Amino acid sequence: MTTVTISSIIDAPVEKVWARIRDFNGLPSWHPRMVESHIEDGKSATEIGCVRNFTLASGPKLREQLTAFSDDEFLVSYAILETPQPITNHSSTLQLRRVTDGDRTYAEWTATFDAPAEKADELAAGMGANVFQGGFNALQEHFTSKS
């Protein structure tokens, strides 16, 4: 099992950051690597078990299933169902926490997955840098430009 955890401080109140990211179907609205997304079978984007089907800017399509969602805990968890990467048993959680010093947000994105041993470190590094940190950078840029 491989684990990757990326964290960041975003210069905005947790409620504002959560409002931007809480829509499980809304990745293209805030993450630069995602260009199109839809929830399958007409389900709600907050319904546990719903599946988002989305396209990366580089072309590949992925399917992910919502496994946990909490407005109270500013938390969303999901599992990858289909990806071109050699990943299985994937589970990710994106959670926000209030930073009272400056009314900022602590954001943490964690994933665990199985992958071939020779690919695991490379996949974890790519997921951490491109997906997780890339998303945090986009959020930071969004809220900095709004100030």
Sheet of 104-114: strands edge to edge? 2-10, 104-114, 88-99, 75-82, 61-70, 51-56, 34-39
6-15 pLDDT, tens per residue?
999 999 999 9
92-127 pLDDT, tens per residue?
999 999 998 899 999 999 999 999 999 999 999 999
**Residue 145 — pLDDT band, cuts 50, 70, 90?**
confident
Burial of 128 (0-12, 13-18, 19+ CB in 10 A): middle
Say if residues 121 and 93 touch (Cβ distance below 8 Å): no
Q: If you average pLDDT over residues 12-24, what whole number do you get?
A: 96
**Residue 20 — pLDDT band, cuts 50, 70, 90?**
very high
Which tokens belong to 54? 């989305």
Helix (H, G, I), strand (E, B) or coil at 126: helix
Q: If you average pLDDT over residues 29-49, what whole number do you get?
A: 93
Q: What is the pLDDT of residue 147?
A: 52
Q: Is the pLDDT of residue 27 over 70?
A: yes
Say if residues 44 and 23 touch (Cβ distance below 8 Å): no
Q: What is the pLDDT of residue 146?
A: 60
